[in-house]
Structure 1
């Protein structure tokens, strides 16, 4: 995953808000993932409306020094099909 790529929450995934962040459930593969940081939930929700991953991170107010950790988390979500690459606008 690169900062300049457009990504989105998979259409088969539902996010349920929780005090710690959110639960992400994939209706296709039946995986359940705990998003343990509210900021990560904000980034994931913002992917659809952002031009790319960088724009989603900026819009969520994530400090640039934390971007590598967020990219790693997003890559994990991509491996579980929770987020998917979308065509550039």
Structure 2
């Protein structure tokens, strides 16, 4: 059971990093095509980034890391994971 407390956070972090890299490459290609076709004024509804998705993934990763480090750090892990996920999600454009 101890090995799962070590492997699970590392595995989830690696999967999240691979997914973020995939999204960044895909969005870079789509943004190049979209900038030519769509005006910026039409997409002014505030949903032009992945902030909500980043926050939820960050909270999950924060819980995983805090569980690996010990049960006393869950609140700190959630808040740090949410903050980092929000920052990463806001930097990736839809």
Fold-level similarity (TM above 0.5):
no
Specify which structure has the higher proportion of helix.
2
Greater gyration radius: 2
Specify which structure has the higher proportion of strand.
1
TM-score of the aligned structures, taking structure 1 as reference length = 0.30
